[in-house]
């Protein structure tokens, strides 16, 4: 943070100072925070950047942007079995946004509401004025018992594969958001056909899934105590399943019929294009994890107590690779393998 008296310092104190009540944040008056890690704990850190035109639209509501930026990081921590404790915020925004009291106030108020609900506080960050780029970066942290973070690499043959929540809501929500902003003509014919089958209320509900993802915060301790491997689903179920199986050097068999989807989309699941989109689209921010078969029932019971919906969708097998199976246990082709920032 900058020295007292600078315009940037006044900006920080106006919008984010009230959110920094932890003494270790030093009121956001210093260049860094001083954080003590409890004895017997390991620090777990996650960083995500949201960029306009890739992760959000330029005219998405600032309140939704604040919630999404915070929640995508919380999702990573929860999937590691860590309860979030604090975060650092870096804003790179055009002058029109940084100087807009309405935009910044909406952003800061929503950030404050969400951090309170999620049990963490801002600890510092940075602010940069750009010509036309909009990017929001959050680095969040928490702790776990020393050395016990749940990695991607712990899955073993015979483990059961689980997901939280429902898969694909945000993928269709992105279509709804684009149609809302730019009109149906901006969508493909297939996308238009599906949205035409949904009511305005249903489209709005799915759009909200895209704008403000879930966090599954109550699942953190359960993942820590039960999961042999875990990660959050940010780039699509198919792609992230491949990532987890590769890290663990095992294979996965996933039953397509067992993958949970929003009830709104139930009438459309016989359409192969819809099914493929639901498992390859990104921004689910649900948990994908494995649990040994002997502990699976207890895991399900604890998730139910925490009111986190969880579904067994398959199992870990020795043969590497991810296979999606139909009701007759025949392999299905699902097309693209999820979102990849570095794909050709």
pLDDT band for position 342 (50/70/90)?
very low
DSSP state for residue 99 in the 8-state scheme? T
Residue 135 clears pLDDT 50, i.e. is over it: yes
Helical H segments across 153-199, by residue range: 169-182, 189-196
Q: What is the pLDDT of residue 8?
A: 83
Residue 195 clears pLDDT 90, i.e. is over it: yes
**Cα(65)–Cα(196) distance, integer angstroms:** 27
pLDDT band for position 22 (50/70/90)?
confident
Q: What is the pLDDT of residue 302?
A: 98
Among the residue ranges 79-83, 311-315, 332-336, the one predicted with the least confidence is: 332-336
Q: What is the pLDDT of residue 138?
A: 98
Q: What is the pLDDT of residue 248?
A: 97
Q: Is the CB of residue 321 less than 8 Å from the CB of residue 248?
A: no
Q: What is the pLDDT of residue 5?
A: 60
Q: What is the pLDDT of residue 3?
A: 45
For Cα atoms 164, 167, 173, give the angle at the middle one, nearest 5 degrees: 130
Average pLDDT value for residue range 306-322: 97
Q: What is the pLDDT of residue 100?
A: 96
Q: What is the pLDDT of residue 340?
A: 44
Q: What is the pLDDT of residue 21?
A: 86
Q: What is the pLDDT of residue 2?
A: 43
CATH domain 152-332 topology: Phosphoribosyl-aminoimidazole Synthetase; Chain A, domain 2 (3.90.650)
Task: Record the pTM.
Answer: 0.93
Token pair of 221 as six digits:
């301790």
Q: What is the pLDDT of residue 339?
A: 46
Average pLDDT value for residue range 296-307: 98
Q: What is the pLDDT of residue 341?
A: 44
Residue 1 clears pLDDT 70, i.e. is over it: no
CATH code: domain 7-145 is: 3.30.1330.10
Residue 133 clears pLDDT 50, i.e. is over it: yes
Helix %, strand %, coil % for the chain, to 5? Answer: 45, 25, 30
pLDDT band for position 124 (50/70/90)?
very high
pLDDT band for position 272 (50/70/90)?
confident
pLDDT band for position 335 (50/70/90)?
low
Q: Is the CB of residue 124 less than 8 Å from the CB of residue 88?
A: yes
Mean pLDDT (the chain, rounded): 93
**Cα(42)–Cα(147) distance, integer angstroms:** 6
Q: Is the CB of residue 127 less than 8 Å from the CB of residue 8?
A: yes
Q: What is the pLDDT of residue 344?
A: 47
Q: What is the pLDDT of residue 241?
A: 97
Q: Where are the domains of the chain?
A: 7-145, 152-332
Average pLDDT value for residue range 259-279: 93
Q: Is the CB of residue 295 less than 8 Å from the CB of residue 159?
A: no
Average pLDDT value for residue range 229-244: 96
């Amino acid at each position: 943070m900058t020295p007292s008296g600078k315009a940037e310092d006044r900006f920080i104190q106006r919008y984010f100072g009230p959110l920094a009540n932890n003494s270790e944040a030093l009121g956001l008056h210093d260049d860094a925070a001083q954080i003590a890690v409890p004895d017997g704990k390991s620090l777990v850190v996650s960083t995500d950047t949201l960029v306009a035109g890739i992760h959000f639209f330029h005219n998405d509501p600032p309140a939704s942007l604040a919630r999404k930026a915070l929640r995508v990081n919380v999702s990573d921590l929860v999937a590691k079995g860590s309860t979030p404790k604090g975060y650092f915020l870096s804003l790179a925004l055009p002058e029109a946004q940084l100087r807009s009291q309405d935009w910044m106030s909406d952003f800061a108020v929503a950030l404050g509401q969400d951090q309170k609900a999620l049990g963490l506080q801002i600890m510092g960050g940075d602010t940069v004025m750009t010509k036309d780029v909009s990017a929001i970066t959050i680095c969040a942290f928490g702790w776990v018992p020393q050395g016990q973070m749940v990695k991607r690499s712990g899955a073993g043959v015979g483990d059961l594969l689980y997901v939280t929540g429902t898969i694909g809501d945000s993928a269709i929500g992105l279509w709804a958001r684009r149609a809302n902003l730019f009109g149906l003509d901006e969508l493909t014919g297939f996308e238009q056909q599906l949205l035409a089958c949904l009511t305005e209320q249903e489209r709005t509900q799915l759009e909200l899934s895209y704008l403000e993802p879930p966090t599954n915060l109550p699942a953190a301790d359960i993942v820590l105590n039960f999961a042999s491997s875990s990660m959050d689903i940010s780039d699509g179920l198919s792609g992230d399943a491949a990532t987890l199986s590769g890290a663990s050097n095992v294979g996965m068999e996933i039953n397509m019929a067992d993958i949970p989807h929003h009830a709104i989309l139930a009438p459309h699941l016989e359409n192969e294009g819809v099914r493929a989109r639901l498992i390859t689209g990104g921004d689910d921010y649900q948990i994908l994890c494995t649990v040994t078969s002997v502990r699976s029932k207890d895991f399900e019971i604890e998730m139910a107590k925490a009111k986190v919906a969880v579904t067994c969708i398959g199992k870990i097998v020795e043969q590497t690779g991810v296979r999606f199976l139909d009701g007759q246990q025949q392999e299905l082709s699902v097309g693209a393998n999820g979102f990849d920032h570095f794909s050709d």
